[in-house]
């Protein structure tokens, strides 16, 4: 188990891609803390699965856009787990509309959670990750942050911002031995994707060269690799995990 003894923190860890990442890191030996914003029972269920794998865990309901709350959460989690080696920024929301109909609240809320939330967690974890000398940060973006998508100007802007943030952070953390990378999924079969109109799901499937939509585990396994010793010389990159959807 290549992550044995590592301490990880995953944002948005109660469902979908975030849950899959929590479980994959745990299967590979890491103790895993996570935060989320949703029904308490979802977080409790994930915590039970992590405990069943023999891992220490910590969970908290937190608004990723609230810097003070994030700082408290990350510090409490690090204290409970006994340190922090890995940060995975996965938390994200959508509020779709064409740009000329999008409200200020729709734009601001998506930027606040997706982009500012990523910044908040990196900032909160920075001192502990830099102190360790071989920390890992993995941010979850989207292929739509690279190419754009009709009706998602707020989401695309937030995910493009995460890519820029990743590259800047890679430069800033590099001297401390911390790698910072980004995973850009295509459409993945999650609760969020289930709400996408069928015509858009069909279009995404038609774009995907491998003939299927991705699963949360496809993202989780890529994240786990980037957190491993095998990825020690990879930083500042964006890995598309989309079955060829972007091409």
DSSP 175-239: GGT-EEEEEEE-SB-SHHHHTS-HHHHHHHHHH-TTSS-B-HHHHHHHHHHHHSGGGTT--S-EE
Catalytically active residues are 155
CB atoms within 10 A of CB 208: 19
- The answer to whether 173 and 182 are in contact (CB under 8 A) is no
Q: How many angstroms separate the Cα of 74 from the Cα of each of 81, 124, 189, 200?
A: 11, 6, 29, 37
């Amino acid at each position: 188990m290549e992550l044995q003894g590592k301490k990880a923190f995953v944002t948005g860890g109660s469902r979908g891609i975030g849950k899959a990442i929590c479980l994959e890191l745990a299967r590979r030996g890491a103790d895993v803390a996570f935060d989320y914003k949703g029904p308490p029972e979802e977080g409790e269920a994930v915590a039970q699965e992590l405990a069943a794998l023999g891992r220490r865990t910590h969970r908290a309901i937190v608004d990723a856009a609230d810097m003070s709350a994030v700082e408290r959460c990350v510090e409490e989690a690090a204290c409970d787990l006994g340190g922090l080696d890995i940060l995975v920024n996965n938390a994200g929301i959508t509020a779709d509309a064409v740009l000329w109909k999008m409200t200020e609240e729709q734009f601001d809320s998506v930027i606040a959670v997706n982009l500012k939330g990523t910044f908040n967690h990196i900032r909160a974890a920075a001192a502990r990750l830099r102190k360790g000398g071989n920390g890992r940060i993995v941010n979850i973006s989207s292929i739509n942050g690279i190419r754009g998508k009709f009706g998602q100007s707020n989401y695309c802007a937030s995910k493009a911002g995460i890519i820029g943030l990743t590259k800047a952070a890679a430069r800033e953390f590099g001297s401390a031995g911390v790698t910072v990378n980004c995973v850009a999924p295509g459409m993945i079969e999650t609760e969020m994707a289930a709400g996408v109109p069928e015509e858009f799901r069909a279009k995404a499937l038609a774009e995907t060269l491998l003939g299927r939509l991705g699963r949360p585990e496809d993202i989780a396994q890529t994240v786990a690799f980037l957190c491993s010793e095998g990825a020690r010389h990879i930083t500042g990159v964006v890995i598309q995990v989309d079955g060829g959807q972007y091409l």
